Chains A and B, each alone.
Chain A
Amino acid sequence: MSDPGRGRREGLAPLLAASLPLALFTALPLLALALRPDPAHWLAQLGSEAARRALALTLITSTVSTLLCIALGLPVAYLLARYRFRGRAALDVLVDLPIAIPPVVAGLALLLAFGREGWFGRFLAPAGVRLPFTTAAVVLAQVTIAAPFFVRAARAGFESVDVRLEQAAWTLGAGRWRAFWTVAVPLARPSLIAGALLAWARALSEFGATMMFAGNLPGKTQTLALAVMSLMESDIDTALAVSALSLLLALVALTAARLVARSWRGTGP
């Protein structure tokens, strides 16, 4: 028998050819976008007030959102990975739901829940808390849309940790809390980091839910994605520059996620 590597290479060329359309279909428009702004012009456009404020707001809100995704997502991911209980399937579907619904719909739902007359909103309003069309609303919208990406990755990470390692920790005197933080989390860390980067990338690009729930107020709720839409009406060059910038941020996040995943394979047990 020939070596398996050769067998694998034999089908490579036709598959590469067959994969080309989708790759080009994705890459060409992005390439057009990246190459369109004249680089010298680029930085000047990005220096504009609107672009700088949108970038700062995007970086801050997406980072806060990611931290919230981690804090809120960790227990859910661990629960789904380790326990069988009534309602588990329902929780599983619920976690994935935001991926499947149009973000605009998610934003509308948030508005209905947290608006002045909403379920929660009517209790928040007397306390002087008003969420819709604030920077906090941007974060909330991003968390809703991005959390599933973190939970999915984290859950897969926890599932890949041998449960006997946690059991060994328990029998050595570590309580569940300590075993979670000293065994489960460190061993799932590559997946947790990859999931956090995916959630961050998704939060960076959030548009629909933010638009509905937080509006498009420059300096307050106008993130990069929303800025692009507004700028398209007034200043196409800046819109293109801002678009190229979001593309760059996404590339950084996804490449980082891949590198983390690969370094894990390199050093895994």
Chain B
Amino acid sequence: MNVLSVEAALALPGFALDATLEAHAGERMALFGPSGAGKSTLLSLIAGLSAPDRGIVTLDGRPLCDTARGVDVPPSRRRIALMFQDGALFPHLTVRENVAYGARGGSGAMEWLERLGLAALAARRPREISGGERQRVALARALASKPAALLLDEPFGALDVTTRGAVRHELRAFLEEARVPTVIVTHDPLDARVFGERVAVMEAGRIVQTGTWSEIEAAPRGPFAAGLAGLNFWNARLDPGRGLRAARVGAVEFHVLADDLEGEVYLALDPEEVTLAREAPHGSARNVLEATVRDLLVLGSRVRVRLDAGVPLSAEVTRQAAEALFLAPGQRVWASIKATAFRVYA
């Protein structure tokens, strides 16, 4: 059953949001995408801090917003807690008063503070505690309000790298215990991996893909997700037929293996499947392209080579291979790729 279901369109100056999102009962979902994709805007629509041009938001079957029927429940009655990037604790209240602010139901503020290991800080003010502690207080405050859903907006964005990891695992443990359906917004793949049981990838105002992390890595549906999985990614046109066929990306034609597909498809390619040579190769590879080296990035014992082959193409070779080939920016090389190396999907 879908606990939280969102379908919303909103036009802002220079930006259009048109997103559909469904979170299941007791699930932790990561809403993941580059900065400016509209993730925070979508959260504020769910929380009721802004209204969509048109759309429907329901929680546990209860309509919170339905533009067609003129329903717009104010944020205070939605029972959706929103945790902001820096926690947004009330600076004029103590830690205990912060948690008590929205406390509902049986357990009081002190009980929540004890549960999250914050009892010793109860009398402090937000500016007197560390960034990680502030995030924990913000979570205690949100959970104390007994929300039907919890939204976290870049909860680790304000933390430095050293505390991030610890706070991340801490928060996940608390959320697992709380069993509140949660949507966490992040542009950090590690956050998305640690937190999300499912991941929704958002790019340019749209949810482009929803699934588990391994599903998304296997077949990304957008350049952002593909880049994080370290894959070459193209939108291609596949010739009709079966088996070995041409897939066109702009002026470049790749030979790929695919069944039961034609027309617009996604094409993904692991850079390790690209072989580089100085001379035109005579091997069995179906795809041989002449390319120019744009730049090189050394990653430990391996080198990531970005090429211009009529389309952008990344290859990954060993350091020895890169040295043997005298790879340098501007260098002409031959790239060969087997037809079976391409992942073709719609």
Contact = CB atoms under 8 A, between A and B. Distances in A.
Contacts of A42: none
B49 A167 contact: yes
A173 B102 contact: yes
Interface in A93-112: none
Contacts of B75: 167, 170-171
A190 to B, nearest CB: 11
Contacts of A183: 90
A88 B49 CA distance: 22
A172 B145 contact: yes
Contact of B80 (A171, A174, A182): A171
Contacts of B88: 162, 164-165, 167-168
How many B residues are at the interface, by size bracket? Answer: 20 to 34
A182 B102 CA distance: 12
A147 to B, nearest CB: 26
A187 B101 contact: no
Centre residue among A173, A176, A179 by max chain B CB count within 10 A: A173
A75 interface: no
A47 interface: no
Contact of B91 (A172, A179, A187): A187
Interface in B181-207: none
Contacts of A187: 90-92
Interface string B74-106: 111111111010001011100000000110100
Contact of A173 (B79, B84, B92): B79
B93 to A, nearest CB: 8
Contacts of A169: 90, 101-102
B200 to A, nearest CB: 21
Contacts of A39: none
Centre residue among A168, A170, A173, A174 by max chain B CB count within 10 A: A168
B139 interface: no
B92 A172 contact: no
Nearest to B126: A269
B101 A172 contact: yes
Contacts of A186: 92
Nearest to B79: A173
B17 interface: no
Interface string B143-161: 0010000000000000000
How many A residues are at the interface, by size bracket? Answer: 20 to 34
A171 B47 contact: yes
B169 interface: no
Contacts of A173: 76-77, 79, 102, 104, 145
Interface in B43-99: 47-49, 74-82, 84, 88, 90-92
B94 to A, nearest CB: 13
Interface string A155-196: 000000010110111111111100100110011000000000
A171 B43 CA distance: 12
A268 B92 CA distance: 9
Given A171-B47, A173-B76, A165 B102 contact: no
A175 B73 CA distance: 11
B49 A170 contact: yes
Interface string A227-269: 0000000000000000000000000000000000000000011
B82 A167 contact: yes
Contact of B127 (A162, A165, A167, A269): A269
A6 B3 CA distance: 62
B248 interface: no
B91 to A, nearest CB: 3
Contacts of B90: 165, 168-169, 183, 187
Interface of A: 162, 164-165, 167-176, 179, 182-183, 186-187, 268-269
28 contacts: A165-B88, A165-B90, A165-B91, A167-B49, A168-B82, A168-B90, A169-B90, A169-B101, A170-B49, A170-B75, A171-B48, A171-B76, A171-B80, A171-B82, A172-B102, A172-B141, A173-B102, A173-B104, A173-B145, A174-B76, A174-B101, A174-B102, A182-B101, A183-B90, A187-B90, A187-B92, A268-B91, A269-B127
Given A171-B48, A171-B76, A269-B126, 15 more contacts: A165-B90, A167-B49, A168-B82, A168-B88, A169-B101, A170-B48, A170-B76, A171-B80, A171-B82, A172-B102, A172-B141, A173-B77, A187-B91, A269-B91, A269-B127
The 4 closest A-B pairs by CB, nearest first: A172-B102, A269-B91, A170-B75, A168-B88
